[in-house]
Amino acid sequence: MSTPQSIAAIADIHGNRWALEAVLSDIRARGIETIVDLGDDLYGPLDLHGTAAQLAKIPAFRVQGNCDRMLIETDPIDPASTLARNRVELTAEQNLWLAAAPRTVTLENILFCHGTPWRDDEYLFWALDSTGAVLHTVDQLQTTLQSIEQAVIVCAHSHTPLTRNLPNGKLVVNVGSVGLPAYSDDAPYAHAMQSNSPYARYAILTRSNSGWTAEHISVAYDWEAAVRCAEQNGRVDWAKWLRTGTV
């Protein structure tokens, strides 16, 4: 494989096949051939099989997300929950495909992870406490990442596009979400993540003479199709998140 000059980082698709198609077509139109998928591919009240079929067609490096792991490992108590429905839908082949993804991928001098380099269910850029989600400063981020040797660290999980240039010269990128622009969660503390508009997000990393740079991309797509699907599956919360990018 030749050395990539550009890498598309996609993440948190969450079964949104409509958003994924728009993002893959944007990546193709830019001539970018290297794709890294940071995980949380299928979980959600949307189009699990359509999303899996799209992803099977593209050669991508893949990282396993916490919702991918939940989908293959967790037996839900409520049979009407989105997780229970997804587990019924999931084929044995899709199960193996989710299970096969590693927790991190290293490409060139870039470390890709879902949450942090150590956990798939924690935010790299945020701390959670009783007030909600609090952004780390660049100094806190630098301290957290001091044992990481790569020059660029790319994470996802928060569904929020962010870039930080650390004092030591490293670049840290939180890729936004392809398929779910906002959500609220109640564990371990109640918090909301919002990108404040309904666009599908992904990031492009570009090699320059001085290292890698990051650009966050917003792609318009037929979000009303995803909204209708969420509504049909009884998730009015997802419908609002998809339509507005707010909780």
Could you list the residues that contact Mn ion (CB under 5 A)? 40, 65-66, 157
Q: How far is the CB of 135 from Mn ion (least distance, A)?
A: 18
Q: Which of 4, 201 has the CB closer to Mn ion? A: 201
Q: How far is the CB of 24 from Mn ion (least distance, A)?
A: 20
Q: What letter represents residue 4's amino acid?
A: P
Angstrom distances, CA of residue 117 to CA of 21, 65, 211? 28, 12, 21
Q: Are 62 and 113 in contact (CB under 8 A)?
A: no
Q: How far is the CB of 239 from Mn ion (least distance, A)?
A: 20
| Three-class SS of the chain | CCCCCEEEEECCCCCCHHHHHHHHHHHHHCCCCEEEECCCCCCCCCCHHHHHHHHHHCCEEECCCHHHHHHHHCCCCCCCCHHHHHHHHCCHHHHHHHHHCCCEEEECCEEEECCCCCCCCCCCCEEEECCEEEECCHHHHHHHCCCCCCCEEEECCCCCCEEEECCCCCEEEECCCCCCCEEEECCCCCEEEECCCCCEEEEEEEEECCEEEEEEEEECCCHHHHHHHHHHCCCHHHHHHHHHCCC
Q: Which residue is nearest to Mn ion (CB)?
A: 157
Q: What letter represents residue 226's amino acid?
A: A
Distance (Å, rounded) from C-alpha 84 to C-alpha 134? 31
Q: Which of 40, 41 has the CB closer to Mn ion? A: 40
Q: Are 7 and 204 in contact (CB under 8 A)?
A: yes
Q: How far is the CB of 72 from Mn ion (least distance, A)?
A: 14
Q: How far is the CB of 156 from Mn ion (least distance, A)?
A: 7
Q: How far is the CB of 16 from Mn ion (least distance, A)?
A: 14
Q: Which of 4, 158 has the CB closer to Mn ion? A: 158
Q: How far is the CB of 191 from Mn ion (least distance, A)?
A: 13
Q: Which of 21, 40 has the CB closer to Mn ion? A: 40
Q: Which of 14, 164 has the CB closer to Mn ion? A: 14
